[in-house]
Amino acid sequence: MKTFIENLPKAELHLHIEGSFEPALMFEIAKRNNIKIPYNSVEEIEEAYKFDCLQDFLDIYYQGAGVLTTEQDFYDLTYSYLQKCANQNVRHTEIMFDPQTHTERGISFETVINGISKACDDAKEKLNVTSLLIMSYLRHLSEEEAFKTLEQSLPFKHKITAVGLDSSEKGNPPSKFKNVYKASIKEGYIPVAHAGEEGSADYVWEAIDLLGIKRIDHGNNSLQDDKLIAEIIKRDMALTVCPLSNTALQVVDDLKNHPLKKMIDLGLKVTINSDDPAYFGGQVNKNYSDIQKALNLTKKDLYLLAKNSFQYSFLDENSKKNYI
């Protein structure tokens, strides 16, 4: 099975570039930028990566992202992730980035987007990995702040395909971002959002009805509501599921109890992703192999999951034909 998974061509549709920041690279970048981080070793960092919930993780994740300063930093972070894609036969990836995590610290939008997109261009040429970008709004901030980010993105619109919504879900429902999503769609961005990770099925309804999303990030709690399941199937929307993230953040207590197989059996379109691999103990292939073992998935299941990853990507239909 391990070799089967390694050889499967895959796309990754749910990945936060700031969540791919491996401790060794974090140390290197902190050192060259003369920034102190509250850890003395990679082991100490790994010890800190034990989370009770999403917020627990986010506090540490934003702290880690705080060492990223120059265009080169964003380039190195992104290229390092794309090399891992190449090594795992991930042929296409849709990368989320959180501009506000950086612009709030005085780093320009331009620095962030240029570093990330140059790495993507180089990876296409040198590693044969294609990518596109999803600009994610931080939901713990106001809609007004999101509007500022939308405005900042416009000179770089040609580099960005979609908008997303991430960070602290509970207490920050999709409805809070209704207007900025409407404006983002008007600018040509495809809407996606995290929904139903910790939040209830109502949040997924809001993301569909009020934000008009085309894909659901996580979506686990959709299973609380039969009508919602039927609606997601009717709209042919995929869920970007992240097994190791779900156990790391205690969304699921054990991979053996993960709802992925149930989702497939219900007819939901599911994909497997790593979310924040540097923090959750595994890249894409480990997500595939751990969930395969836990749920006894067959090769047919795995093939379907990989096929979905291309089918529900935002690649154009012609490019998809190269894979499915």
* Pairing label, strands 90-97, 130-138: parallel
**Does residue 22 bind ligand ADE (CB under 6 A)?**
no
- The minimum distance between CB 140 and Zn ion, in angstroms, equals 14
User: What ranges make up the beta strands (E) of the chain?
Assistant: 10-16, 90-97, 130-138, 162-166, 190-195, 215-218, 238-241, 269-272
By residue count, the chain amounts to 324
- Rg of the chain over all Cα atoms, to the nearest angstrom: 18
Which window, 172-180, 183-191, 227-235, 274-282, contacts Zn ion (CB under 5 A)?
A: 274-282
Residue 102 marked as a ligand binder = no
Question: Which parts of 109-168 interact with ligand ADE (CB under 6 A)?
Answer: 166-167
Does 14 appear as a known binding residue? yes
Q: Which residue among 197, 198, 206, 231 is the active-site one?
A: 197
Q: Is 197 a residue that touches ligand ADE (CB under 6 A)?
A: yes
To the nearest whole angstrom, how small is the minimum distance from the Cβ of residue 69 to ligand ADE?
20
- Please tell me whether 290 is known to bind a ligand: no
Burial class (CB in 10 A: 0-12, 13-18, 19+), 147: middle
Query: Which residue's CB is nearer to ligand ADE, number 97 or number 189?
Result: 97
Q: Does 275 bind Zn ion (CB under 5 A)?
A: yes
Give the one entry of ligand ADE, Zn ion, none that residue 292 binds, where binding means its C-beta sits below a cut-off of 5 to 8 angstroms depending on kind. Answer: none
Shorter beta-carbon distance to Zn ion: residue 97 or 109: 97
Binders of ligand ADE among 223-282, rule CB under 6 A?
Answer: 245, 275-276
Please tell me the distance from the alpha carbon of residue 324 to that of residue 316, in angstroms, as a whole number.
12
Q: Does 94 bind ligand ADE (CB under 6 A)?
A: no
The residue among 71 and 94 lying less far from Zn ion, judged by its C-beta, is 94
| Residue 101 near residue 68 (C-beta atoms within 8 A) | no
Decide: is 16 part of the binding site for ligand ADE (CB under 6 A). yes
* Terminal Cα distance for the chain, rounded: 21
Is 73 annotated as belonging to a binding site? no
The interface partner of residue 94, options being ligand ADE, Zn ion, none and the CB cut-off 5 to 8 Å by kind, is none
- Does 194 bind ligand ADE (CB under 6 A)? Our answer is yes
CA 276 to chain centre: 7
Say which residues have a Cβ less than 8 Å from residue 196's Cβ, sequence separation at least 6.
Answer: 203, 204, 216, 218, 219, 220, 221, 222
Any binding-site annotation on 194? yes
CB of 15 to Zn ion, least distance (A): 8
Q: Is 94 an active-site residue? A: no
Buried/exposed code over 262-273 (b: 16+ C-beta within 10 A; e: otherwise): ebbebebbbbbb
The entry of Zn ion, ligand ADE, none that residue 71 binds, CB within 5 to 8 Å by partner kind: none
Using alpha carbons, select from 281, 192, 171, 282 the residue that is nearest to residue 240: 192
Structure tokens at 99: 């501009």
Q: Are 187 and 179 in contact (CB under 8 A)?
A: no
Beta bridge partners of 275: 15
Residues from 141 through 170 that contact Zn ion (CB under 5 A): none
Bind-site residues: 14, 16, 194, 275-276
Residues at the contact surface with ligand ADE, assessed by CB under 6 A: 16, 19, 54, 61, 166-167, 194, 197, 245, 275-276
Please identify every residue annotated as catalytic.
197
Residues at the contact surface with Zn ion, assessed by CB under 5 A: 275
Bind-site residues for Zn(2+): 14, 16, 194, 275
